Amino acid sequence: MKHCNRTNILLRVTGCFLLAACWGCSMELPQGLVADEGTPVKIMAEIQELSQTKADPMTTANSYDRSSFISADKIRVYRLVGGTVAQQEDYAYSGSAWSTTATNPVTLQAGSTYSASYPSDYTGILQDQSAMGGAGFLKSNYLKSKTVTSRDGILHFTGDGAFERQNAKLTLVFKLHGGGAPDGDFTNALLSAPGLISGGSNDENITLYRPDASAYTWCGIVYPKGASTTISLQLTYKGVVYKASLSCGLAAGTHYTYTMTLKDDILVPTGSSIAGWKNDPNGDFTGEFNNGTTTGS
């Protein structure tokens, strides 16, 4: 009898240890969602490499480009199931948080993944990027997040999941031979190359945007062909038509900067660089040089 009692006590103690061990395992390795399905998601978003907490959102550069999101920016958030869009809604930034006015906001669902894009109404690269006070440039500047998952209803489009620039950026800085800035007006500043807008084989042209009326710097968003492309530049300065030809790699997320010097009646590329995308309208970067060719007017 005593032997049986000892056996029962041992079994009870062993069972308690087993239950505790199983309970401990379940606490360490929780399964499934930790928030209820159908919970509206919350958004955290930043642009790759440049956190919105590290940049002044009201700088001139950030008003026409983006190193961080600013108030009134809108992103489009997608919930995907098996790679297919199951839900999509636009979210606006207040300067401190993202919210939506949609009656059916994006929700937390098991088995779903999530992504987002900016601007929310992106339709493609625009031909006239000088239009609407630079809004044409911004509407052409497509950013897309990485695909993320969530268990608590918070979508972290930050860090490894942050928004990345999908197109390429081209900046032209004009100077006079012998130094100094030009002292006249430029007109008809155009870029032309096959697939500059769509990536196709037909010639397409882009009107560049001048972010600072006091600086001789123009910027444009171009299609990321990812291969060396010959781009023709034409502009008029003091009644003289200048033309130049530039060779550019056009990789996604890359900023190409060319310094162009006006000499007599020709336009001479005197410097160029390639860098990760930074929002400096003056194009002060260091990097690999490209060779350019020039033709007279």
Per-residue pLDDT tens digits for 155-175: 999 999 999 999 999 999 888
Location of structure tokens 């930074």: 278
In 10 A of CB 24, how many CB atoms?
Answer: 10
272 neighbors 256 (Cβ within 8 angstroms): yes
Terminal-to-terminal C-alpha distance of the chain: 113
* Confidence bin at 13 (pLDDT 50/70/90): very low
Question: In angstroms, rounded to a whole number, what is the distance separating the alpha carbons of residues 128 and 205?
Answer: 9
260 neighbors 232 (Cβ within 8 angstroms): no
217 neighbors 137 (Cβ within 8 angstroms): no
pLDDT for 294 equals 28
| 189 or 70, greater pLDDT | 70
Single pTM value for the model: 0.78
List b or e across 147-185, with b for residues whose CB sees 16 or more CB atoms inside 10 angstroms.
ebebeebebbbbeebbbbbbbbbbbbbbbeeeeeeeeee
Give CA angle at 285 (214, 61), nearest 5°.
Answer: 45
129 neighbors 206 (Cβ within 8 angstroms): yes
Question: pLDDT tens-digit profile of 118-139?
Answer: 999 999 999 999 887 788 999 9
Question: In angstroms, rounded to a whole number, what is the distance separating the alpha carbons of residues 274 and 283?
Answer: 10
Question: pLDDT tens-digit profile of 179-217?
Answer: 767 777 777 678 999 999 999 999 999 999 988 888 888
Question: pLDDT tens-digit profile of 73-118?
Answer: 999 999 999 999 999 999 999 999 999 999 999 999 999 999 999 9
The chain-wide mean pLDDT, for the chain, equals 79
SS3 143: strand
